[in-house]
Every structure is written in structure tokens, then in C-alpha cells.
Amino acid sequence: MKKLLIILALSIAFLITGTQAWAISWTIDDNYIGGTASGPYVSPDGDVIGPAEFYGISGMDVHLAGDRLTIDIFTNYNYDGRPDYDVLTDFGDLFISTTGWTPYGPVDYALDDASNGTSWDYAFDVSSGKLFKISGVSDAIIISDTIMGSKTDDWYRVGQEVLVDEDVMNALGPDYLMSEYGTAIYIPGIYSMSFDVSALSLGLSEEIAFHWTMTCANDVIEGAITPVPEPGSMLLLGAGLMGLAGFIRRKKV
């Protein structure tokens, strides 16, 4: 019986610690609006400025495999994909919070912008593939107005964080600089960003929040994942293992 308990304890310990090495995926739907448009052409639900087939974001998948984090944004927005494009906007950087997702205002978060809600700790710079710690760095975040405000013929979503200024900070950690940089590529229907998160202090039980949009912020997605299974599912797993142990014991008798 003692031996069985040890095996059981080891199994549970493996299941808990082993989660880090497993590939896990989450899906976040786009239920976030985030601020107002600078002009017309807003979709009836307020979520997209301009044609949804060009700017709409439907959701994102988050994959964690060891230390590799991959974020797939489901969108047809493609900087290089439109021959009529006058190159006024571009893919934005990815903002990450390890201290929870706290968007401002009621659900759909139409009142949330860069000045309120979640504070972002890190950013993945899609043009360089580098990861930055942005919390505590003044002027690290560039908002949509700074990029789009001078372009009087274009409508954009105001007050949204869209890029980071890599000139005001160093990429995260000397070790990280030695390793490969991350990647950001567009494949039809998906903007995929992938990078090593070993330099990030990701707490395994903490909520990790994400924010992404294009530099005009015509559609913005925000949301969060929880890396470890909920306590409820861990309890169920434990109960299942206990049941299994009891079954094995009964069979032995």
C-alpha cells in the first residue's frame, strides 16, 4: 500500500510538473473593441473599422511547447497582400501581461484603450523578432494616434497600443540575445508570431494576457489564458487516480 501511495504521489507530481514540457493550446475569441474610431466606416457592432475582409480579426490561438510560444492571429489583414494598398499601415507588435488581464469598462471593452485597463509587461517586436520588457520604461509604447494621426485621409481606432519603440530599451536578457530571434510571418488567413519565452518570468499559475492589432488598430484583439489546469480539473484528475489505485488494489486481493 505504501509503495502504491508513492507511485500515486509521483504520478501526480509528474502530471503537475510535466505540464511545462507538454505542448498546450488555447483559443481566445475576439470579444474586444477597445476605443473609438477617428471617423466613419465602423461595423455595426463597433468592432471593425473599414472592410472586415481586410481588417477583421476573429480570434487567436496560443500554443506553448516547452519554452516556445506561438501566437496565431486569425485575420485577412496582410500588409503585402493588397496591390491597391498605399502602405499606410503595418502589422503591430504583440503586447504581453503576466499580471492578469484587466480591461477597462463593461464587456466588449469599448472604453478600454492604452491609457487604462491592463498594464503590459513585455512586448514582442515583430520587425526585429526581439522580446522587450516594457514595464517601467517610459515612452516604450507607441499608440495608434502617433502612427496614424498625421494621415488625415485615413480612419483609425484612437488611443490603442500598436508598436514598441525599440530605441528606448534593450532586448531582454543577454542570454536571449545569444539565442535565435523570434519570427513573425503571414500565411493566408493567419499572422503567426513565434518566440522563446525562457527569458520571461512566466508564473505557471498566473494568467497571461495578450494584445495585438495592426498599426491603424482597425480591429484589436485582447484576451488571456491560464497556463495550468484549473484547480477543479486537477482535483478531478486526482480523484480519478485515487479511483484507479483503489481498483488496482481490489484486483490484487
Name the residues that contact Ca ion, by CB under 5 A.
30, 32, 47, 112, 117, 219-220
Between 72 and 112, whose beta carbon lies closer to Ca ion? 112
DSSP one-letter code for 22: S
Residue with Cβ nearer Ca ion (30 or 125): 30
- Considering the complex, state which of residue 196 and residue 219 has its C-beta at the smaller distance from Ca ion: 219
What whole-number distance in Å separates Cα of residue 101 and Cα of residue 136?
18
- Ranked by CB distance to Ca ion, the top (closest) residue is 117
Nearer to Ca ion, 33 or 200 (CB): 33
Buried b (16+ CB within 10 A) or exposed e, 4-31: eeeebeebeeeeeeeeeeeeeeeebebe
C-alpha triplet 20, 26, 32: angle, nearest 5°: 135
Percent of the chain that is helix, strand, coil (3-state, to 5): 25, 30, 50
- Residue 108 CB, shortest distance to Ca ion, in Å, is 9
CA distance 37 to 43: 10
Query: CB-wise, 29 or 80, nearer to Ca ion?
Result: 29
Measured from the CB atom, the residue of 43 and 198 that comes closer to Ca ion is: 43
Least distance between Ca ion and beta carbon 93 (Å) = 15
Residue 89 half-sphere exposure, CB side, CA atoms within 13 Å?
Answer: 29
Query: Least distance to Ca ion from the beta carbon of 238, Å?
Result: 38
Burial class of residue 114, CB neighbours in 10 A (0-12, 13-18, 19+): buried
Rounded to a whole number of angstroms, the minimum distance from the CB of residue 220 to Ca ion is 5
Q: What is the nearest approach in angstroms of Ca ion to the Cβ of residue 26?
A: 17
Minimum Å distance from CB 219 to Ca ion? 5
Q: Residue 46: name the closest of 92, 105, 119, 93 by CA.
A: 105
